[in-house]
Structure 1
Amino acid sequence: MLARLIALLFFICYSFLISTAQSVQDPDLKSMIHKSAFSYSNGEYSGKGWDLLKAEIAKSQFVMIGEQHGEAEIPVFAGKVAQVFQPKALVIEIDPYTASQLKKVSVDPSKYAAYFRQKPYDFAFYSWETEMALARQMTSSNIDIWGLNEINFLSLPTFFETLAAETKKPGLKKLALKKAATISLHDLPLYKDIAKYSDFSAYSLKEVTVDSMIVAFKNENAASKKMLQDLKRSIPLFANSSYTQRVNLMKKNLLNYLHSDITADAINMPKLLFKFGANHLSRTDEMNTAFEVGNLADNLAGAAVKKTLHILVFGKKGTSNTMAPTDNTLAIQPYDIATDDELKSLLPFSDQVQGEEWALFDFRPIRKAVKAGTLKIEPRLLSFINGYDVLVVFGQVSGSRFIE
């Protein structure tokens, strides 16, 4: 009997020790979430979290801001990151031709209202107030703007006006300008009515139509011919028929910008600040089962023996721009991360952010614990943990406003 009692006590003690050891070795997620708060006041960030983030930025060659679109605070945050980082270029989710036009238009705010009355969505997300302010900050600071997307299907009038400016022959200029005018006349009334968005001209544009223009422009300069080839390449993407094709085009466009920096003897990567939807800047393929531009940038930096910093940023609660229609009273809607299917897996982090507070969370210790097998988390959250280095959450979010 005594022997059995001793054995039982030994088993209980052993089980307690093992359990204690496992509790040390197998931390739960909550115990690994550490908030470094900071604040935004009078146009500046301050506090521990901001100081830590600045230190990380200083060590990086590429800084990537993966965002939730439609939140007005994020371009402001990106602008402050740019002030610290001083990149050669801001790399964004528009096409190369739209990026060139954005640099021209952004410099003069007095002309914004007239421009956007005629071309409400010409710059995609940069048709919003704080996004345009970010573009203006870049141009005034001599920071270039690079666009990686397919042709913006809502900026076709500007595209054909640019084509007309490129060509030398009067007949071809007239053809391109007529195309611009026809599309503008058809599309402009549609922007205020989301029920008519499927009627935009881009959705009915056929490759055979562009082919006929390619033939007409066959003796034109290389820039004109390239524009038409890029337009043809973009047509399947207007209807989102091939996500992989879109991702590959983004990566191709990045390499086009970097071609002079990669030689047989050296890889001289410039400092670049990327700002895209969060799925595009992950370093893994876990978010969309595709290796996106964030992964390519990560590999390029690695080849140059440089560091990258992947920042995920979003607001907790307030309002957000749902992107359509181009009427602020309708497009800006209530927002709560708790009902956002894309981001609600991150509630354990955002729940720690109070009021108008900003906070920085480091994903890397959590990622290390997962890789070591001492922590298990659900797949959607894991895709963020593996894809990004740090998370920035701000408590109060306001919807981006269309420029009117």
Structure 2
Amino acid sequence: MKICKSLIVLLSLISTGTILAQTVKNPKFDSLVHKRVFHYDTKGFNGEGWDSLRAEINKAQIVLIGEQHGEAEIPVFTMNVADVFKPEALVVEIDPYTAGKLKETSLNTMGYSSYFKQNPYDFAFYSYQTEMELARQMTLAHTDIWGLNEISFLSLGTFFNTLGTIAKSPINRDLALKKAKEYALHDRPIYKNIDRYNDFTAYKLKASMVDSLLLSFRNESNECKKMLRDLRSSLPIFTNNSYVARTNMMKKNLLNYLSSYITKDAINIPKLLFKFGANHVGRTDDLKGSFEVGSLADNLADASGKLSLHILVFGKIGTINQMAPVDNTQAIIPYDVSTDKELDMFAPFYSQIQGDEWALFDLRPLRDAIGQGKVNVNPYLGKFIKAFDVLVIFGRTTGNRFIE
């Protein structure tokens, strides 16, 4: 697939659900939809809905936030969840190597502007203002950041720069750093011109080229060789040829992070806070027809005698960052959930939201009623209700701005 479509398609793979709207009146369904309101101000969140959510968070060992990408309020919500939950790690939708760079970069607030002029989309969504602030706050709180994604096709220059800095052989170091410079210079002007998105370097990479690098790096450290193997595994994901490969890489990377916590005698899962596109972090595996990392997390929590909490969150009306191009004047557009064909099926919920209020909906009574055949529901909406424990909707959404 050509990259003109690929950025949009790839990012849609990490977005929320798909189509189908619930428009028919359903009194039994509506009787099980109960809104608990809360509000946000300079002191944080407060109100009945927040109190209820805090209680649920405190019961869990793993909290998973399934989001609508591009809304500035969701990272702020995540920060407040983290303040309650105190996770050992924030688990996010970037690759493991980018996660390490993100922790380092997030602390240098004075350097943001110069960094992103050189590397416009280096951290995927964490190139947005409130996403970067979330990363900074987590790092300041000594919360680790775990990245589960494939290698980012938007930051190959940084990937090869990292590879070059850890290579021991001068020949390999020079080779990697040369590629880093070449790829960064080639890709930099493309980010602001969506008509040129077919031209990103990642879409020209061949498995044979990575195999050649693996041969050159055969005597390098295991870390170097793993980076290149991960790059090779990412190639079909770059071109959107395998959703299953993408979800499998997420699960593999999670298990790599957890390897020291799982022994033959015990599964001691630390407190983990996930923030992903909603498709990936439900407790069921039928949203996209693939066994997702959220299902794996739920099973791991269960195996260790703990609980997972799956939260779906999105805004109602305002603006949103549509993710491309890297230009706030073009990427931030008006938004209304009622015209969003991926989310308009949630009308029984968002129609109750007034003004700038936030609201919590407990989906579990609906889940039970659907499972018992007591209520009929749009089939795809039913899958989301089965996948998530609670739904959070906020009234006013703001498009998250790229850091400039």
Residues in 2 aligned to 1:341 and 1:295: alpha-carbon distance in whole angstroms:
25
Q: Quick one: distance in 1 between partners of 2:253 and 2:43?
A: 34
Q: What SS is found at the alignment partner of 2:65?
A: strand
* Letter aligned with residue 130 of structure 1: T
Corresponding letter in the other structure for 2:187 = D
The whole-number CA distance in structure 2 between the counterparts of 1:391 and 1:43 is: 23
1:67 maps to a residue whose letter is E
Counterpart residue number, 2:314: 314
Q: Is the 8 A contact 1:316 1:397 kept in 2?
A: yes
Counterpart position of 1:129: 129
1:75 is aligned to 75
Quote the Cα distance in structure 1 between the aligned partners of 2:374 and 2:213.
60
Query: What is the CA-CA distance between 1:342 and the residue it aligns to?
Result: 1.2
Indicate the structure (1 or 2) with the bigger Cα radius of gyration: 1
Conserved 8 A contact 1:27-1:375: no
Contact (CA 8 Å) 1:27, 1:374: kept in 2 or not? no
Counterparts of 1:355-366 in structure 2 under 5 Å?
355-366=355-366
Query: How much identity, in percent, do the aligned residues show?
Result: 60
Structure 1 partner of 2:258: 258
Residue 403 of structure 2 aligns with an amino acid whose one-letter code is I
Q: How does 1:50-89 map to 2 (within 5 A)?
A: 50-89=50-89
> Given that residues 62 and 309 in structure 1 are in contact (C-alpha distance below 8 angstroms), is that contact kept between their aligned partners in structure 2?
yes
Structure 1: gaps of 5 or more residues: 1-25
Residues 148-198 of structure 1, C-alpha deviations (whole Å, 9 max, x = no match): 000001111111111011111111111001000110111001111001111
1:287 Cα deviation after fit: 1.1
User: How many angstroms apart in 2 are the aligned matches of 1:298 and 1:198?
Assistant: 38
Q: Which residue of 2 aligns with 1:327?
A: 327
2:165 corresponds to = 165
Aligned equivalents of 1:169, 1:205: Cα separation in 2: 23
The answer for the alignment partner of 1:93 in structure 2 is 93
Distance 2:43 2:251 in 1: 34
Normalised to the residue count of structure 2, the TM-score between the two structures is 0.93
Paired residues for 1:5-404 under 5 Å: 28-404=28-404
Q: Which moved more, 1:249-258 or 1:281-290?
A: 281-290
Separation of aligned partners in 1, 2:310 and 2:396: 22
Letter in 2 for 1:401: R
Between the aligned partners of 1:33 and 1:332, the Cα distance in structure 2 is 32
Distance in 2 (alpha carbons) for counterparts of 1:291 and 1:230: 20
RMSD of aligned C-alpha atoms? 0.9
CA contact (8 A) 1:283 1:291 kept: no
Quick check: 212-221 or 111-120, which moved more? Answer: 212-221
Q: Distance in 1 between matches of 2:42 and 2:169?
A: 53
SS in 2 for 1:352: coil
Q: Cα offset for 1:220?
A: 1.0
Equivalent pairs, count = 379
1:61/1:331 CA distance change after superposition, 3 Å: same
Higher RCO, 1 or 2 (CA under 8 Å, sep at least 6)?
A: 2
Structure 1 residue 27: Cα displacement: 5.8
Is contact 1:100-1:145 (8 Å) kept? yes
**Alpha-carbon deviations, 1:45-74, whole Å to 9, x = none?**
000000000000000000000000000000
Runs of 4+ in 1 over 6 A off after TM superposition: none
For residues 175 and 267 of structure 1, what CA distance do their matches in structure 2 show?
A: 42
**Aligned partners of 2:60, 2:147: CA distance in 1, in Å?**
21
Shift of 1:43: 4.2
Q: Distance in 1 between matches of 2:74 and 2:379?
A: 26
Counterpart for residue 9 of structure 2: none
TM-score by length of 1: 0.93
